[in-house]
Amino acid sequence: MEPIVQTKNLAVGYNDEILLKDIQLKLHRGEITALIGPNGSGKSTILKTITGNLKEIAGVTYIDKDSIKELSGRELAKKAAVVWTERVKAELMTGWDVVAAGRYPYTGNFGMLSERDKEAVERAMTLSGVADLAESDFNALSDGQKQRLLLARAICQETPVLILDEPTSYLDIRYKAELLHLLKKLAAENQVTVLLSLHEVELVKKVADYVVGVKESGIFCQGKPHEILQETVIRALYDLDEEQYRFWFQRTW
């Protein structure tokens, strides 16, 4: 099966200084891939490069066989939707306005929403459980509510690829469960390809079809969850000694 997202010999970093190199990823339709690894290892840098927010230092990223270098911003936004962890400020915008911004790749020069666009907004808000926030001032909402609206905005783009950077940040247990269940549903029913970074390994077990461990200068490991989420691999990835590992992953009450 041909991957919908593929990186070849990708090197990423800032100001032409390589942080990670030789990144070889293949993401398939309807699968969820999780990036894990220590803070500062470069997970977000990989995501920003794959989405065109950072320029590749070397190599290439393909989405649906098109190099992102050859795509305009609007064309890329029709292929991949993104949710970042950075706090977003949206002056004088309601929850509905924020979600509706996900339709910009499809609107004309004046940004007018068609009836189909409006239906997509309503559908995304309902699916994400934020319909009750439609009239709320976005800046007055909690971080968790904002995060859920931003997810709805990404879903509203109706792209084949969904990329999320630490999407469970700011969410309590209930909304983490709802988010992961929604991602599994989108992947299974709509064949959406999901790439996300996560800190919580326990959540990776629940949601991921494939796991990529990032450390130091590149990809440390990758494979199916049962292959990667082993004591020896996790201890090496996070530099945990035996006592630390057992305290965190095997504590009994």
pLDDT in tens, 165-216: 999 988 899 889 999 999 999 999 999 999 999 999 999 999 999 999 999 8
Task: Find, among 2, 68, 71, 20, the residue nearest to 10 by Cα.
Answer: 20
Residue 133 DSSP label: G
| Chain centre to alpha carbon of residue 153 | 13
pLDDT in tens, 105-161: 998 666 789 999 999 999 999 999 999 999 999 999 988 899 899 999 999 999 999
How far, in Å, CA of 32 to CA of 210, rounded?
6
Q: Check if the beta carbon of residue 184 is closer than 8 Å to that of residue 192.
A: no
pLDDT in tens, 213-241: 999 889 999 999 999 999 999 999 999 99
pLDDT in tens, 25-37: 999 999 999 999 9
Structure tokens at 69: 């270098």
How far, in Å, CA of 170 to CA of 186, rounded?
22
Q: Check if the beta carbon of residue 122 is closer than 8 Å to that of residue 110.
A: no
Q: Tell me, what's the pLDDT at 111?
A: 73
Q: Check if the beta carbon of residue 139 is closer than 8 Å to that of residue 116.
A: no
Q: What torsion do the CA atoms of 243, 249, 252, 253 make, to the nearest 10 degrees?
A: 110
Q: Tell me, what's the pLDDT at 109?
A: 63
Measuring CA to CA, how many Å separate 148 from each of 109, 117, 119, 120, 127? 28, 19, 18, 16, 10
How far, in Å, CA of 140 to CA of 159, rounded?
29
Angle CA(147)–CA(179)–CA(186) in degrees, nearest 5? 115
Neighbours of 197 (CB within 10 A): 23
